[in-house]
Amino acid sequence: MKKIWLIRHGESIANAGEPTQDHAAIPLSEKGLQQAQELALAIPSAPDLIVTSPFLRAQQTAMPTIGRFPQAHTGIWDFIHEFVYLAPATCVGTTFAQRRPRVIAYWRKLDPDYVDGEGAESYRQLMERIQTTISLLQRRPEQFILLFTHAQFIRNFLLAYEHPQWTAEQCMASFRRSEPVRNGQIIEIFM
C-alpha cells in the first residue's frame, strides 16, 4: 500500500491579507518560507516522488524538501493547482477580504457547471482534475509520494477519495462543511 502526503503550501502573502496580482504567481510570506523549512525537517524518510502544483507558493514550499532529498524524483503536475473559480482578471489587486462577498455568492449558487469568466474553471472541471490525480496516483509505482498543493484542492480531493460514488453536485454541497486545511498541514492517505 502506498503512502501519499497531501501538503498545503505555507502561508502566502494572500493568506496574510495582502493584495495580489497573478493568482499563479503569489509568493510565500516570510512565515510561509519558515513553514516550508519546518516541513522539510518534519519528513521522517526520503520520499520516492515529490510533486508540486505549477503555482509559485506550492513550488516555494517544496523547495526545501527537494533540497533535503535530492535523490527523490520530482515533477510539476499542472492538474493539482488550486481551484480557480473566480475569473482571475477580476481579482487583480484585491485582498481575500475584498473577494469574500463573491466567494460566498459562488458557493451559495451550488452550480457545478458555472464558470465565472475567462481563466476560471467550473467545479465539475476541478473534480475531473482530481479524478485524474487519483487515477495517476493509483498507477504510480512509487510507495511514498508528496504532493505540494492547495487547500481547496486537498479538501475536494478528500471528498472524492472518501466518497468515490458521489457526484460533483454532492461533493460541492458538502465542501463548505469539510475540514479546513491549514498552511503547511500534511494529510496522509493510503492507496
**Burial class of residue 35 in the structure, from the number of CB atoms within 10 Å of its CB (0-12 exposed, 13-18 middle, 19+ buried):** buried
- Structural domain count of the chain: 1
Q: How confident is the model at residue 79 (pLDDT cuts 50, 70, 90)?
A: very high
pLDDT tens digits, one per residue of 124-166:
999 999 999 999 999 999 999 999 999 999 999 999 999 999 9
Q: pTM for the whole thing?
A: 0.97
Domain of 142, in residue numbers = 3-190
CATH code where residue 89 lies: 3.40.50.1240
pLDDT of residue 142: 98
